[in-house]
């Protein structure tokens, strides 16, 4: 049951931060409430004050200024349907379409997802691969942090109590050679793999070589992680010959994760799944480089 609380509805980020600063530990930001209200109903969190951030116009914007800016209160559903996001970062729109279920997507926000720092976040994994940065606003001003610095661990971020997450910024990936594959049998994903390949000479050129490779693995460790050693194995490889190295790259990623036994499976099982799904994600990304959308059907998995 929900205990009584006071709901504040500021109209600007500055007003919201001033409230957070004044009320201290008694107040928390409140967006879609899909996580927060659940914790409150279970009695795991009892904040006397909620600062509703959904009326703050600047937090609800999607803007294109070189980098794509996604405001913190943009919902998964808006991200999925935005013509701007579909044109500039189709993979982001496609991943948003596969978050949770339509009820959660309709009210759950990007900011709430990242600020909550649940290790089973699809967006944190994808955004890490795309070198995203978050913007934080406080009574003291604004600061930008890389997503890797922002997410510190399970349910832990670098956000100070009087700060609001204003949004996330990312540079659209210049190649079609990217994929996100998620796998799981529970409500939240057991595993998420984001792969993005940058090719010299661009997509569709026979013999184009990989000059930049990003692999991020999420859900199996305390926070999403880039697999730098695995990425290095891809550099210089012709995109037509990715199949020759996927085994080694998958094994390298599996060696680089830090899984724990839990209800999603044992640590050994998760490592094995990382190897399998890195291989699969890489094959999809490489096929997309050549303009081919491969037919995929992996049980309990979604390819975005």
Ligand X SMILES: Cc1cc2nc3c(=O)[nH]c(=O)nc-3n(C[C@H](O)[C@H](O)[C@H](O)COP(=O)(O)OP(=O)(O)OC[C@H]3O[C@@H](n4cnc5c(N)ncnc54)[C@H](O)[C@@H]3O)c2cc1C
Report the distance separating Cα 5 and Cα 170, nearest Å: 36
How many alpha carbons fall within 13 Å on the CB side of residue 224?
Answer: 36
Burial of 14 (0-12, 13-18, 19+ CB in 10 A): middle
- Which ranges of 154-241 does DSSP label H, i.e. alpha helix? 228-232
Structure tokens at 222: 């305390």
Q: Which is nearer to ligand X, 102 or 248 (CB)?
A: 102
Helix (H, G, I), strand (E, B) or coil at 243: helix
Comparing every residue's Cβ against ligand X, the nearest one is 112
Q: Give me the least distance between CB of 34 and ligand X, in Å please.
A: 3
52 Rama class: left (phi>0) / alpha (psi -120 to 50) / beta: beta
Rg (CA), the chain: 20
Q: Which is nearer to ligand X, 112 or 250 (CB)?
A: 112
Where on the chain is the footprint of ligand X (CB under 6 A)? 28-36, 53, 72, 99-100, 104, 107-109, 111-113, 115-116, 121-123, 159, 164-165, 187-189
Structure tokens at 42: 């279970």
Q: Give me the least distance between CB of 47 and ligand X, in Å please.
A: 8
Q: Which is nearer to ligand X, 56 or 275 (CB)?
A: 56
Q: Give me the least distance between CB of 164 and ligand X, in Å please.
A: 4
E strand segments, 79-185: 133-138, 141-146, 151-153, 156-157, 164-170, 178-183
Report the distance separating Cα 37 and Cα 1, nearest Å: 10
Q: Which is nearer to ligand X, 36 or 191 (CB)?
A: 36
Q: Which is nearer to ligand X, 194 or 286 (CB)?
A: 194
Report the distance separating Cα 72 and Cα 127, nearest Å: 14
Q: Which is nearer to ligand X, 31 or 129 (CB)?
A: 31
Q: Give me the least distance between CB of 160 and ligand X, in Å please.
A: 10
Q: Which is nearer to ligand X, 94 or 175 (CB)?
A: 94
Q: Note whether 194 and 129 are within 8 A (CB).
A: yes
Q: Give me the least distance between CB of 22 and ligand X, in Å please.
A: 16
Q: Give me the least distance between CB of 208 and ligand X, in Å please.
A: 32
Q: Give me the least distance between CB of 203 and ligand X, in Å please.
A: 28
């Amino acid at each position: 049951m929900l205990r009584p609380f006071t709901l504040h509805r500021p109209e600007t980020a500055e007003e919201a931060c001033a409230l957070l600063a004044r009320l201290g530990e008694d107040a928390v930001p409140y967006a879609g409430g899909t996580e927060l209200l659940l914790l409150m109903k279970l009695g795991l969190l009892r904040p006397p004050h909620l600062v509703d951030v959904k009326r703050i116009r600047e937090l609800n914007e999607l803007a294109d200024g070189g980098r794509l800016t996604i405001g913190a209160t943009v919902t998964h559903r808006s991200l999925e349907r935005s013509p701007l996001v579909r044109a500039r970062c189709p993979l982001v729109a496609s991943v948003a379409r596969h978050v949770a279920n339509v009820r959660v997507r309709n009210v759950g926000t990007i900011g709430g997802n990242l600020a909550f720092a649940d290790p089973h976040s699809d967006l944190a994994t994808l955004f890490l691969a795309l070198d995203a940065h978050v913007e934080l606003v406080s009574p003291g001003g604004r600061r930008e942090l890389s997503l890797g610095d922002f997410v510190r661990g399970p349910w832990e971020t670098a956000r100070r109590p009087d700060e609001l997450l204003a949004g996330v910024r990312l540079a659209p990936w210049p190649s079609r050679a990217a994929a996100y594959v998620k796998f799981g049998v529970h409500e939240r994903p057991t595993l998420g793999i984001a792969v993005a390949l940058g090719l010299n000479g661009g997509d569709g050129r026979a013999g184009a070589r990989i000059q930049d490779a990003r692999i991020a693995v999420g859900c199996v460790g305390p926070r999403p992680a880039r697999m730098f050693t695995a990425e290095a194995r891809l550099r210089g490889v012709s995109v037509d010959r990715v199949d020759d190295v996927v085994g080694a790259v998958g094994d390298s990623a599996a060696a680089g994760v830090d899984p724990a036994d839990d209800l999603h499976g044992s640590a050994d099982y998760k490592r094995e799944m990382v190897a399998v799904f890195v291989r699969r994600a890489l094959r999809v990304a490489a096929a997309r480089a050549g303009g081919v959308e491969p037919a995929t059907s992996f049980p309990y998995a979604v390819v975005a």
